[in-house]
Amino acid sequence: MSVTVATRTVVTFGDKPSDIWVLPNDNVVEIDGEPFVTLGYGGDRGFARFVGGDLGASNPLARFSWLGHAVQARNVAVDALLDKVASEKVMGHIAGQTVKN
């Protein structure tokens, strides 16, 4: 028998102890010391259960159009951060322009 100790990221919502989502470690990426959660329409049934998705469906989040809005909000925030970093670190970058890879 073996014992494993690991750090996990847990999202809570509501007052009930059952209102939690334990994120798979593959869904959490740390950038500059801050955890970022990757989300998708498929593959994470824990998230689907957390938000009330239809677990009987093969793609329980297909009807969750708000997830697309969350992705857009995330992209805007990331683009703003990239622009800030590029303005400070990339010679010739003009603030407000798209940062290219």
Q: What is the pLDDT of residue 3?
A: 94
- The residue ranges of every structural domain in the chain are 1-64, 65-101
Neighbours of 36 (CB within 10 A): 12
Q: What is the pLDDT of residue 2?
A: 92
3-state helix, strand, coil split of the chain in percent (to 5) is: 35, 15, 55
Please tell me the distance from the alpha carbon of residue 27 to that of residue 11, in angstroms, as a whole number: 12
- What is the pLDDT tens value at each position of the chain, 101 positions in all? 899 888 888 888 777 777 788 888 888 888 888 888 877 655 567 788 888 888 888 888 878 777 778 888 888 888 888 888 888 878 787 787 777 65
Q: What is the pLDDT of residue 101?
A: 59
Whether 61 contacts 46, CB under 8 Å: no
Tokens 């500059």 sit at which residue? 32
